[in-house]
Amino acid sequence: MTTIQGDGFTVTIIKSKRRKTMALKVDNKGVSAHIPSTLPLATTQAFINQRTSWIQKKLAQQQQRTVQEKQFEDGEVFLLLGENYTLRLFQSDEKALVKKTTSTIEFYGRLNKLSKPAIRATIIDWYKQQADGYLTARTNWLSDVTSLQPISITIKSYKARWGSCSIKGEINFNWQLIQAPQDVIDYVITHELCHLTHHNHSPKFWFLVEQFMPDYKRHRQWLKNNGHKLAL
Ligand SMILES: [Zn+2]
C-alpha cells in the first residue's frame, strides 16, 4: 500500500485507471487520496501539502465525534503532562481557584452558584497558565540545545493543530498540548523550532528534526493516535 506523509497524518494512495481528477477523502479509516494511476506521487504530495489545514480540520471533526466530551464533574479524570489527575470539586466561598496535588486537580468555588461552563472556563484558564509556564520554559531550553532561536513564543487556542511557526520566526503552541506526555511536547517544540530553518515539510526538514530527536516518529504517532483525547 502506498502512503504519503502529511503534517500529523498519513494519506493512503488509491490509484485508478479510470480516474481523471484527484480527490481527497477523510473518514473514520483516515485520509485517502484517490488519484489517476499516471499521476506522479510528487504532484499528489504537493496537492496534499496545499490542503493540509483542510485535512487537519476534517480529522479533528472526525475525532471529536468519537470522543466523549468532558463534563467537568467531580471524579472525572484529566491529563497533565501525560499523567492522570482526578478532578475534585470543593465548595468554597472565596474566589474560584484551581490547585494541583500529586494525583488530583482541585477546584474550589461556589459550587451551588457556579454553572458548568463557569467551572470549565476556570479550569481551562488554569490549563492555559500551566501551558504558558511549561511550554515557554521548555522551548527556551530546547532553543538553547538546538541553537534555533524564535523571536517570540505564544500560547494560543487552536482547533486542529499543535503549533505553528511564522516566516518571521514567531512560534505558537496550542495550550492543549500541556496534557500530552513530556516527550511528545518536546517533539512538537522541536518540530516548530526546525521550521525556523525549513518553512516546509521537506525531507531536509524531517532530517533536521531527526538530528535533534532520533525517535520523533514515535511521538508523532502518539499525537496521531491520541491527539483527539486532548480536546477539552
Ligand atoms: Zn510542521
- Ranked by mean pLDDT, the top range of 17-21, 44-48, 90-94 is 90-94
86-143 pLDDT, tens digit each: 999 999 999 999 999 999 999 999 999 999 999 999 999 999 999 999 999 999 999 9
169-185 pLDDT, tens digit each: 999 999 999 999 999 99
User: CATH number of 77-230: 3.40.190.10, 3.30.2010.10, 3.30.70.20, 1.10.10.60?
Assistant: 3.30.2010.10
Residue 20 Cα, ligand 1 centroid: separation in angstroms?
30
Residue 39 Cα, ligand 1 centroid: separation in angstroms?
25
Residues near 219 by beta carbon (within 8 Å), at least 6 away in sequence? 183, 184, 186, 187, 213
Residue 84 Cα, ligand 1 centroid: separation in angstroms?
28
pLDDT, position 67: 67
Residue 7 Cα, ligand 1 centroid: separation in angstroms?
6
Angle between helices 216-226 and 182-194 (to 10 degrees): 110
Residue 232 Cα, ligand 1 centroid: separation in angstroms?
23
In this predicted structure, the answer to whether residue 66 has a pLDDT above a threshold of 80 is no
Residue 105 Cα, ligand 1 centroid: separation in angstroms?
32
In this predicted structure, the answer to whether residue 79 has a pLDDT above a threshold of 80 is yes
Residue 95 Cα, ligand 1 centroid: separation in angstroms?
40
The amino acid that residue 28 corresponds to is N
Residue 17 Cα, ligand 1 centroid: separation in angstroms?
33
156-168 pLDDT, tens digit each: 998 889 999 999 9
| Contact between residue 87 and residue 53 where contact means Cβ atoms under 8 Å apart | no
Residue 192 Cα, ligand 1 centroid: separation in angstroms?
6
Residues of the chain with CATH 3.30.2010.10: 77-230
Q: What percent of the chain has pLDDT over 90?
A: 78
Q: Which residues surround ligand 1, an ion (CB under 5 A)?
A: 7
